[in-house]
Amino acid sequence: MSLITVNEEKCIKCGQCIKGCPSYVLKMGENGPEEIEETKCIACGHCVAICPTAAIDNKKSPLAQQVDLKDFPKLNAQQAEHFLKSRRSIRNYKEKSVSREELTKLVDIARMAPTGSNAQGISFLVVEDKALIAKATELTIRIMEHSPLKNALKQIINAYRVDGVDSIFKGAPNLIITTADKDFTNARDNSVSSLTYLELYAPSLGIGSCWAGFFEYCASMKHSPMLKLFNIPEEKKMTAAIMVGYPKYEYKRLVERNPLEVTFL
């Protein structure tokens, strides 16, 4: 059964779909592009998206499900630079939880992130239960107290035990965790890519975010009790986590980084 169909009246045989295919599954035939080997298609949708005349369709990435970009304005270089520079890791949050509608928007954008061979393979666990986040905070501290790195983490542990300061989730009302199959080798890379998309999109909704590094450290341990706490299936593993919420404070200025170091060869 054919994977692609071509409208021969629209096709101008420009070959862009063939050149844009990362899996080399297309060739130019007498009447337009033809597939070489259907099973190699990774469903990236490039062939359909790149066609200037909308002449090609692909069952794995249907034309009807793609959005025409002609009506969407693009950020200019200055806007894009400001957008990227203005994102900050948020460590102070309002108590108000993010609505389920907006949490869904965040993970829906996250799933659009690029992945190697379009493998994707990432699932999202969205935590709305503040009591569960509090349990995860306590468990993280407990694991850290018995970790070989406990001396290095002493300040964080004491801040929690002595002063009641949440150095793990910073009082964030919501947590987003990525999971993947245990044997999925690209799980961490794909998770980072996905959550990077999420954290770049979040400010447009008035939402702040920060990577939950200490929690990730504890969740990644072999036989971590975090898996049971969050009811993660045995065949799955936690791969990354990010805290989200409404920022308590507003940043007024863009902060500079270290000077650029670059070599051109």
For 11-52, write each residue's pLDDT tens digit: 999 999 999 999 999 999 988 999 987 678 999 999 999 999
pLDDT grade, residue 149 (50/70/90)?
confident
Give the residue among 124, 152, 123, 120 at the shortest CA–CA distance from 217: 152
Question: What is the C-alpha to C-alpha distance for residues 147 and 254, in angstroms, rounded to an integer?
Answer: 37
Mean pLDDT confidence for 117-146: 96
Q: 116: left (phi > 0), else alpha (psi -120 to 50), else beta? A: beta
Helix (H) or strand (E) holding 177: strand 174-181
Q: What single DSSP character describes residue 60?
A: T
Which pTM value belongs to this model? 0.91
Q: Residues 47, 11: contact at Cβ < 8 Å?
A: no
**Structure confidence at residue 73 as a pLDDT band (50, 70, 90):** confident
The percentage of the chain sitting over the pLDDT mark of 70, rounded to a whole number, equals 99
The tokens of 94 are what?
Answer: 């309002």
Report the chain's mean pLDDT, rounded to a whole number.
94
- Across residues 116-144, what is the average pLDDT? 96
Band (1; pLDDT cuts 50, 70, 90): low
How much is the average pLDDT of 129-150?
Answer: 94
Task: Answer yes or no: is pLDDT of 147 > 70.
Answer: yes
The token pair at 142 is: 């407990």
Distance CA 173, CA 246 (A): 9
Tally of CA atoms within 13 A in the half-sphere of 192 that contains its CB: 6
pLDDT tier for residue 8 given thresholds of 50, 70 and 90: very high
pLDDT score for 206: 97
Instruction: Compute CA distances 166 → 56, 196, 214, whole Å.
Output: 54, 23, 11
